Structure 1
């Protein structure tokens, strides 16, 4: 089993205890040490953001789990973070987490769409585009990006 997969397996229960999921694990060299980046997020059915206290709780629990298993062997630097708003939306779960957000979509055939994700049903996005509802198949979307809104309607 690869090191990143082993770390993900160890981190998953610790993250879930804090109400989070493990989104990804990246392992890289950091001088003589190993850097472990664990990206956590809320479950896909949740709307909103992860607060700093929850990330801190997950970080301590993930660190304890890695230490207890001695994985990775030797000194390591653990960083636990959230995906952030600049994460490209490529998977269904990414779009689920972006519900209520304004997104720019790059379509497979080359065009672009901008709309607010109202819902994700089956394999389609339900968007509000200038007050009109439009359904877009996920297979037709190459990539999405959340637009950062300084003043947002709740």
Structure 2
């Protein structure tokens, strides 16, 4: 996608996303056979529900039909939220990942998996899980030391205290454990 097309699409679509309280994270145009694919990734501090993606998709489709931003020819529009193992590239991504386990690739070399406990303008406060019965340790990671960071999927999270300490609910609404407590 050319820079001018990217800028034009962002200029058209960003206001639609922000009107819904969403951040426009990414715009990608690619080829799918003879058709083109426009993939729009949005997110918010509360996450993005399927209905919000569907409504935004309709608005984007209408807006693109009014303009020639996609040029002539057919294209497929996909409006989605970031994947579960999304890369963390912006400050807001780290804030949204508070309480989550993240794999950091460090600039000086090496990798580190740690749970984000807090975020400020200079870096993240983390808890590095202990190995073989050892206690977890606190570690400060300045943003300048991070080459890449990506949220890791946890299927059997044993410690919800880190999520609560970070200010995120340990059991989101709709979780079976929450329903049992309310019943």
TM-score, length-scaled by structure 2 = 0.73
Tell me which of 65, 68, 71 is aligned to 1:70. 68
Summarize the alignment of residues 76-91 of structure 1 with structure 2, pairs less than 5 Å apart: 76-91=75-90
- Within the alignment, does 1:139 sit opposite 2:141 as a pair? no
RMSD over aligned CA atoms reads 1.9
Structure 1 unpaired stretches of 5+: none
Q: How far apart are 1:20 and its partner, in Å?
A: 0.8
- Within the alignment, does 1:149 sit opposite 2:154 as a pair? yes
Contact 1:92 1:123 in 2 (8 A): no
Instruction: Name the CA distance, whole Å, in 2 between partners of 1:62 and 1:76.
Output: 13
Instruction: Name the CA distance, whole Å, in 1 between partners of 2:42 and 2:147.
Output: 24
Partner of 2:70, secondary structure, is coil
Q: How far apart are 1:60 and its partner, in Å?
A: 1.4
Instruction: Name the CA distance, whole Å, in 1 between partners of 2:23 and 2:62.
Output: 17
Instruction: Name the CA distance, whole Å, in 1 between partners of 2:71 and 2:25.
Output: 23
Relative contact order, CA 8 A, sep 6+: which one is greater?
1
Q: How far apart are 1:22 and its partner, in Å?
A: 0.7
Summarize the alignment of residues 77-116 of structure 1 with structure 2, pairs less than 5 Å apart: 77-116=76-115
- After the TM superposition, which parts of structure 1 deviate over 3 Å for at least 4 consecutive aligned residues? 130-133
Instruction: Name the CA distance, whole Å, in 2 between partners of 1:100 and 1:137.
Output: 17
Instruction: Name the CA distance, whole Å, in 1 between partners of 2:99 and 2:54.
Output: 26
Contact 1:92 1:138 in 2 (8 A): no
Contact 1:35 1:78 in 2 (8 A): yes
With 127-136 and 95-104 compared, the bigger mean Cα shift is at 127-136
Q: How far apart are 1:149 and its partner, in Å?
A: 1.2
Q: How far apart are 1:11 and its partner, in Å?
A: 0.9
Contact 1:105 1:114 in 2 (8 A): yes
